Structure 1
Amino acid sequence: MSAETTTTDRALTVLLGAETYPPDVNGCAQFTHRLARGLHERGHRVHTVCARPDPGPSQVRDDDGVTEHRMRSHRAFTHPYFRMCLPWQVKGEIRRILDEVRPDVVHVQCHYILGRLLVREARRRGIRLVGTNHFVPENLEPFLPFPQWFLDWYRRVSWRDMVHVLGGCDVVTAPTPLAVRTMVLNGFPDTVLPVSNGIRISDYEAHVGEAPRHGVHPTVLFVGRLAVEKNVDVLIEALSLLPAELGAHLELAGEGEQRAALEKLARALGVADRVHFLGYVPDDRLREAYLRADVFCQPGTAELQSLVTLEAMSASRPVVLADARALPHLAENGVNGWLFAPGDARELADRLARVLNAPPGERERMGRESRRKVAQHSFPRTVETFLRIYRGEHPEPVPRRALRPRRLRGRLAALVR
């Protein structure tokens, strides 16, 4: 066996740090959990550092071979499920974890408290550091009850703080080229690497010989948090603008703080009998939802990749997506679906009607194109790419000094000194 092969096959000890992790339901939490499972299945030793989802002291759990270090946390009063770790309560435990686990690489998915502490302590020990950014300030702004001038200030400070924290990493990645460009426009160097979050395509595609069970009515599907930035209200309004004879129904899979307002909107627009709130849907039933839908719609405007869109494409569904953030990379007009101007319910209705009025054979063709496009996002490829990054076999690492702004003395940084 060659030395190169030995290096490639050597089992690594990887520590993943995430501010949000299951049972949280969001793209970052899903990706981190999938990556932990994927690395473990490849024979690597995996530890995760994340917030405990309930009150109580920090604890260690075993998740079928992945060791979870659940840090003591507190509920964030402005968010329905997000929990915060206070630095003075957890930084000693993070030091202890790094000393005991002795990871080959630390891979952070966040730049707030846990990410900041892990970057700082790993650097002190000379441990290889990788950072992945899943965040844009718009993700949290709907939960901040402050005036617009404060939100504008918060956005600027958030980007500068993100650059500062991830500046301690050897390599920085983001899920899409568009996400990378967004980061560069906000102070990162152009050496950030695009690495797809990846998707287990087989988890969502139809099995051999399996015929999708379409509903009695044409069905539009949305999957995700019922949050402000997802613009589900635009989708409900678009449903009300579709021709009545089409008889289209809308299924909303997910929970969120906007549910009551969306139910009220559906009643006001006279489509409450055609809008079905499914609540949280487990993975096995979610696959069925994708397969029975005629078209998938994502009207959100803060998507750095949109795992749920990749899932729908894996199930060979046509897609109608907002022309915003990373979504334009996933839809090609007339090929596998359509894009629409964000917030434009009338244009969205037109795009949905184009798909729903298309002959079944045409919808099947568009679905096949979705499945073809998603192949480049296969999860095994993502795991292999990160393993190469962990071992230093990928392109040259990001220069640390190039990432750091000259002036940053944020309060968050001061908290963990």
Structure 2
Amino acid sequence: MSKRQKLHIYFILVTIFLSILIGYRIYLSIYEKDYQSLNAVNIETIETKLIGQTTFSFAVVGNIDNSMRIFSDRIVPLMQDENVDFLISVGNAVFDGAEGKYRLLHRGLTKLDIPYILVPGNNEVADFGSNNFYQHFGPYFYSYHLDNAYFIFLDSTGITSWKWQLHWLNQELETAKNYPYRFVFLGHSLLPQEKVASENSSKYTVDAKTSKTLQQLFSQYEVTSVFSTGYHTNSQQSVGGVRYVVSSGGGGLLLDNEQPYQFVKVMVNPQGFSCTNITAPNRFSPIREKVETLKLYLHSLFYMSIFNILVIIGIFTLFSLLFYSKVLKQQHLYRDFNIDEEASFGTPLRIAMFTNNYLPFIGGVPLSIDRLHKGLLARGNTVLIFAPSYLQNWDDPSDGSVYRCPVLFYTKRGEFPAVNIFNREIGKVFRKFKADIIHVHHPFMLGWTALLYAKRAKLPVVMTYHTRLERYTQYLFGPGMMVKNFLIHLMIKHFANRCDAIIAPSSSTEEYLRNLGVSAIIETIPTGINIEAYGQWTAEQIEQTRAAYVRPGENLLISVSRIAEEKNLDFLVVALEKLKATSSKKFTCILIGDGPERKRLEAKVKAMGMQDTILFLGKLAPSEVVRCYLAADLFVFASTSETQGMVLLEAMAGGCPVVAIRSSGVYDVVHDGVNGFKVPESTNIWAETVKKILEDAELLSEMSGNSREFAKQYSVESITERVLALYRRVILLNASKRSES
């Protein structure tokens, strides 16, 4: 197995691992029941449950620290035995304030069959947990009352200023005087904690000044008891007539061998109240205790954060693999000059071509493929074209060099079949052919099928980028044009970078692919022209064609394209109308081609009164199109969606200079004043340029000769040799990469 294959497998495994983790988190966020303002919900439950009762009991627990196993196994059974009515946690119920810790606490507390109230402690607000507490449990300080008891909850975490709370507390204590029992709860002790060093006292106790103020208030208003949590200790003492109770040991670490897991049970009745420590029996031996404490510590430190740890490790691994893949890719930035690319020039190749449209559909891509196909066969190579079936009758070559793929459905006009790329017969035919190289002509549908076959057979892939696909997004369903264009560019880049080489029909197309971020080999190789086809018509036949459309002394203009929105034919029609209004030369323009816009354009031309000047000839056989080129004086073109504009070269081969709008595919072949003119997308400038040529017979004749000479360098024979040279180079480079891997 090669390095790249191993890297690919690792990448897939890490991606699956991360997907499972993230998917689980998404699952929790969607399907796990959300919870908000639990303190308010539970207080309402407590008030409803104990309405009219003057005898009740509740449990006060501290420092659960997300130790839900200990809490469930050792504390909850005790509460059930003691039959308490509700639970109050006085702080540090979570290990830290992360969302996951709150969810874990919530899962554990929901298993209780009694309502509960959570007081904020240090842990509740740690790691930006204050928002989580507020969202899930409610305000940081508040109060409620039963028939004979008033409950006040304070925020000792520092989130809320004491100045504001003290103002509110005076009013609450004034109201609480009407109740026999007055209880206060906060997350920090007002009295010093045993065994707590002075530098750590702020973690467990309120600062001395605030503590003194609070103690004076509690004594003044004869508060019954103040409950808080602290440094894993439990204590009860009276100061100024107020009982101060510190409750700990609800879970977490037990750093003192004398302190068991426990909670405080508060019993209230008309005769008085009592606070009793309820401890978990059967404490472990000192050695077992240390082991359990260590396990709990590791659980809190590692297991509680394992999701985040694993995600971080997964992301780091993923980026490491990506970086390493880039390093491996660096090994092939330069060509291996030890490879003799000419060594196999005499060896015939077996080439598999995949295209989503082909003959009998007449268009630039099918004609380009057909010419290359014939050129390759003429040089002794074997070609098999995988193309869709069409509704029209068509005679494919008898040598079996075209395989028609099964079709799922056809578009409205039947021009664009959707191939069933999942049909197994396609794969069987491909494997039987035993290709040396794959040539794809579209970055989708059969193009992706070809990539899959190439990967399995370890074959190199060459793609010809024929079409500016972003100019065809109006035919796609989905979001806005900008989004669709972005997705098209992304698809082209992704597909092209999975190929070994790209054939760009023009330098502007190569520039586009480079700007897009394509790193594969890119060769600018235009489509070839069958120059010999232009010699099959006699002068008499050509004159007959010309005479069918214009009288002697008049000019014949020609345009060949699919009659569709992206071909910009509305511009051409309007520009021809302006030309007719301004030029002294009479002319006729024939439009060859068909498409969805034909009927609309014909109606538009008729409404403009141009039906005798602009003639729609529909589809013609390629040989008849050549005859029309030879008969015409000038080729006019308005499309801005071409990668090459193959029809421009075909027209030049027939002696037609070209007037076209400046765009990709035009710059490479039209040289101003030599074989035509490229103009801005302005109907006025376009009409003036055509007028200038038609009214200057000497200029028209000179450019006509230049056009013929220019087109000769694009013969099918010379273009085919360039494509074969690229094939051989890619095959050798692919073999070199496989041997290095």
Question: In structure 2, which of residues 422, 441, 446 is the aligned counterpart of residue 114 of structure 1?
Answer: 446
> What is the rounded CA distance, in whole Å, between the counterparts of 2:430 and 2:732 in structure 1?
26
Do residues 225 (structure 1) and 562 (structure 2) align?
A: yes
Match of 1:171 among 501, 510, 522: 501
Structure 1 residue 211: Cα displacement: 9.0
Match of 2:533 in 1: 203
Worse overlay, 308-317 or 243-252: 243-252
Deviation at 1:190, TM superposition (A): 7.3
Q: Secondary structure at the match of 2:612?
A: helix
Alpha-carbon distance, 1:130 to partner = 1.3
Deviation at 1:151, TM superposition (A): 2.5
Cα drift, residue 209 of structure 1: 7.0
Deviation at 1:208, TM superposition (A): 8.7
> Secondary structure of the equivalent of 2:401?
strand
Cα–Cα, structure 1 residues 23 and 219, in superposed 2: closer, same or farther, change >3 Å?
Answer: same
**Aligned to 2:693, which of 352, 355, 358?**
355
Which of residues 573, 580, 583 is equivalent to 1:236?
Answer: 573
2:731 and 2:584 map into 1 onto residues whose CA distance is 55
Find the partner of 1:248 among 587, 595, 602.
Answer: 587
Q: 1:145, CA displacement in angstroms? A: 5.6
1:212 Cα offset (Å): 5.1
Q: Quick one: structure 1 residues 106 and 354, their matched pair in 2 at CA, closer, same or farther if it must change by over 3 Å?
A: same
SS of the residue corresponding to residue 198 of structure 1 reads: coil
What is the Cα deviation at residue 380 of structure 1?
1.0
Residues in 1 aligned to 2:405 and 2:363: alpha-carbon distance in whole angstroms: 19
Tell me if 1:388 matches 2:720: no
Structural RMSD (CA): 2.7
Contact preservation (8 Å) 1:205, 1:315: no
Q: Does residue 1:74 correspond to 2:417, yes or no?
A: no
Higher relative contact order (CA closer than 8 Å, sequence separation 6+): 1
Separation (CA, whole Å) in 2 of partners of 1:52 and 1:260: 26
Tell me if the contact between 2:563 and 2:594 (Cα under 8 Å) persists in the aligned partners: yes
Give the whole-Å Cα distance in 2 for the aligned partners of 1:107 and 1:385.
Answer: 14
1:149-298 alignment runs, 5 A limit: 149-189=479-519, 191-204=521-534, 213=543, 214=546, 215-216=550-551, 217-242=554-579, 243=582, 245-298=584-637
> CA offsets per residue over residues 302-327 of structure 1, 9 Å max, x none?
01011111110111111101101111
Q: Deviation of residue 87 (structure 1)?
A: 3.0
Paired AA for residue 49 in structure 1: F
Cα gap change, 1:395 to 1:276, in 2 (>3 Å):
farther
Cα 1:351–1:4 shift into 2, 3 Å: closer
1:76 to 1:204, Cα distance in 2 relative to 1, 3 A? same
Structure 1 contact 200–378 (Cα < 8 Å) conserved: yes
Give the letter aligned to residue 348 of structure 2: A
2:371 equivalent to 1:34 = yes
SS at match of 2:438: strand
Structure 1 position 170, deviation (Å): 1.7
Q: CA offset at residue 141 of structure 1?
A: 2.1
Distance 2:699 2:524 in 1: 33
Q: Deviations over 1:144-201 (max 9, x none)?
A: 366xx52222221122222222323221221111111112222313742211112122
Q: Distance in 2 between matches of 1:54 and 1:370?
A: 38
TM-score (norm 1): 0.85
**Distance change in 2, residues 1:121/1:4 (3 Å):** closer
CA contact (8 A) 2:409 2:419 kept: no
Q: Structure 1's 206 and 44: CA in aligned 2 closer, same or farther, altered over 3 A? A: closer
Structure 2 distance, partners of 1:145, 1:228, is 16
- 1:50-65 equivalent positions in 2, closer than 5 A: 50-54=387-391, 63-65=397-399
Answer with 236-245 or 20-29: which moved more.
Answer: 236-245
| Cross-structure match for 1:408 | none
Is the Cα–Cα contact under 8 Å of residues 500 and 521 in structure 2 kept in the other structure? no
CA–CA distance in structure 1, aligned partners of residues 637 and 409 of structure 2: 29
SS in 2 for 1:155: helix
Aligned to 2:421: 87
**Bigger CA radius of gyration:** 2
Name the CA distance, whole Å, in 2 between partners of 1:77 and 1:5: 45
Aligned to 1:404: none
Structure 1 contact 205–316 (Cα < 8 Å) conserved:
no
Q: Paired residue for 1:303?
A: 642
Q: How far is the alpha carbon of 1:76 from its aligned partner?
A: 4.9
Could you tell me which runs of 5 or more consecutive residues in structure 2 were left unpaired when the two chains were aligned.
Answer: 1-339
Within 1, Cα distance between the matches of 2:656 and 2:587? Answer: 16
Point out 4+ residue stretches in structure 1 off by more than 4 angstroms: 3-6, 205-212, 393-397
CA displacement at 1:365 relative to structure 2 = 0.8
Distance in structure 1 (CA, Å) of the matches to 2:399 and 2:715: 23
- Offset of residue 210 of structure 1: 7.2
Aligned residues of 2:405 and 2:420 also touching (Cα < 8 A): no
The amino acid that maps onto 1:340 is V
State the match for 2:429 in structure 1.
97
Question: TM-score, normalized by length of structure 2?
Answer: 0.49
CA offset digits 1:330-381 (Å, max 9, x no partner): 2222222111212x2111111111111112x321210111122223322111
How many residues get paired? Answer: 386
Q: Residue 382 of structure 1: CA displacement?
A: 1.3
Q: Which amino acid in structure 2 is aligned with residue 63 of structure 1?
A: P
Q: Which residue of 2 aligns with 1:409?
A: none
User: CA 1:207/1:143 → structure 2, altered by over 3 Å: closer, same or farther?
Assistant: same
Deviation string 1:195-236 (CA, Å, 9 cap, x unpaired) is 111212232368797795243131110011111111122111
> Structure 1 residues 261, 321: CA separation in 2 closer, same or farther (over 3 Å shift)?
same
For residues 348 and 51 of structure 1, what CA distance do their matches in structure 2 show? 39
Q: Which amino acid aligns with 1:292?
A: A
**Distance (whole Å) between structure 1 residues aligned to residue 400 and residue 471 of structure 2:** 28
CA distance in 2 between partners of 1:303 and 1:169 (Å): 22
CA contact (8 A) 1:314 1:374 kept: yes
CA distance in 1, matches of 2:733, 2:540: 45
Q: Write the distance in 2 (CA, Å) between the matches of 1:293 and 1:117.
A: 43
Residues 563, 596 of structure 2: 8 Å contact kept: yes
For 1:183, the aligned partner's letter is L
Residue 113 (structure 1) shift = 1.2
Distance 2:414 2:537 in 1: 36
- Structure 1 unmatched runs, 5+: 56-60, 401-417
For residues 176 and 140 of structure 1, the distance between their equivalents in structure 2, rounded to whole angstroms, comes to 19
SS at match of 1:9: coil
* Paired residue type of 2:459: I
Change (3 A) 1:40 1:50: same
